[in-house]
Structure 1
């Protein structure tokens, strides 16, 4: 079975397509329509296994970006210039569930509003938080030293080029389907949902199984 056939089956099972689309894949014009409908490039549909089959990995830390992952990347401003962000509660529920079981989460954001991000992170039980302009890899390395783990024990969900360095090096990388092309090209998993649309919930529920508070199996 080709990647394209496997990917069509995967997109049907995930609800992005229905069975009628299975008959359309041999026509290049229909393939363009499927690409537009799902948000995946034709190259990804034909050459990349979207439903990545992963061996067991000893993931000890899950790092999330904020803008474009936990949010849709949009920014809301009041008439007084106050910035607001909209988060998906489904993502929050999945994070809280794993935090309660002992999984370690971190947030590394290139934004400016430290207090706003910290308020949301603390609500979810996330204790490792960085908001600022320092390189993300440098922040992550300091956390790895504190935890005495390797970067291969990190799962990372990002969407833009400032996530690229970590995503190429970490043990498991994922991105929402509307991530920039450079990120989609190197991600282990391209999630069928967009940023802010419960893509983190999809990643945690669909790929992560927490085993007795010791490690993650995928």
Structure 2
């Protein structure tokens, strides 16, 4: 995201984020579903996205996944990344959001959400920073606060994480730690 201009409005919205929530299919993946003949399935995840999520967690922002589908692959990925809150098989994402905010004592304005399709839209519109990936449904992109330059599963989550960290002045320190 460093080569792209970020609007002052998106930075303002990202400044007070305490919880970042991700959809899975179409956001942390490219949206394709791979079903195996034995009934299992697999998903491909982007390592840049994964490291972005790890950096965001290290900066002090809590993370969650809310997915309408349920699969052990997502549970494993969440554990590998250190994502603290995982909700799978939950179609009404707004109900999950309210449960999570009650548990954590946070307000809608302290939440960022990254989604791609219509079931994500109620949350995108309710939270302080609701974003869509570049490959999201056009109606969802139209109603989000912002749209990533990257497509789902191709660096969109990293871009989203870096936006939050940039707004909170933690990105440069995270990056320069590798110099």
- Please give the TM-score of this superposition, normalised by the length of structure 1: 0.70
- Count of aligned positions: 165
Within the candidate set 11, 16, 32, 1:58 is matched to: 16
Give the match's secondary structure for 2:26: helix
Structure 1 residue 51: deviation in Å?
4.2
**Whole-angstrom distance in 1 between the partners of 2:22 and 2:96:** 13
Conserved? CA contact 2:59–2:165, under 8 Å: no
Give the corresponding residue for 2:80: 123
Within the candidate set 98, 111, 115, 1:154 is matched to: 111
**Whole-angstrom distance in 2 between the partners of 1:97 and 1:124:** 10
Runs (4+) of structure 1 exceeding 4 A deviation are: none
In structure 2, the gaps of 5 or more residues are: 171-179
Structure 1 residue 174: deviation in Å?
1.2
Give the corresponding residue for 2:67: 109
**Higher Cα radius of gyration:** 1
Give the match's secondary structure for 1:182: helix
Give CA deviations for 1:16-64 in whole Å, capped at 9, x if unaligned.
xxxxxxxxxxxxxxxxxxxxxxxxxxxxxxxxxx843222631110000
Give the match's secondary structure for 1:68: coil
Give the corresponding residue for 2:173: none
- Please give the TM-score of this superposition, normalised by the length of structure 2: 0.85
Conserved? CA contact 1:51–1:189, under 8 Å: no
Structure 1 residue 135: deviation in Å?
0.9
Structure 1 residue 207: deviation in Å?
4.5
Within the candidate set 41, 44, 53, 1:83 is matched to: 41
In structure 1, the gaps of 5 or more residues are: 1-9, 15-49, 213-218
More contact order relative to length (CA 8 Å, sep ≥ 6)? 2
With 79-88 and 157-166 compared, the bigger mean Cα shift is at: 79-88
**Whole-angstrom distance in 2 between the partners of 1:205 and 1:133:** 27
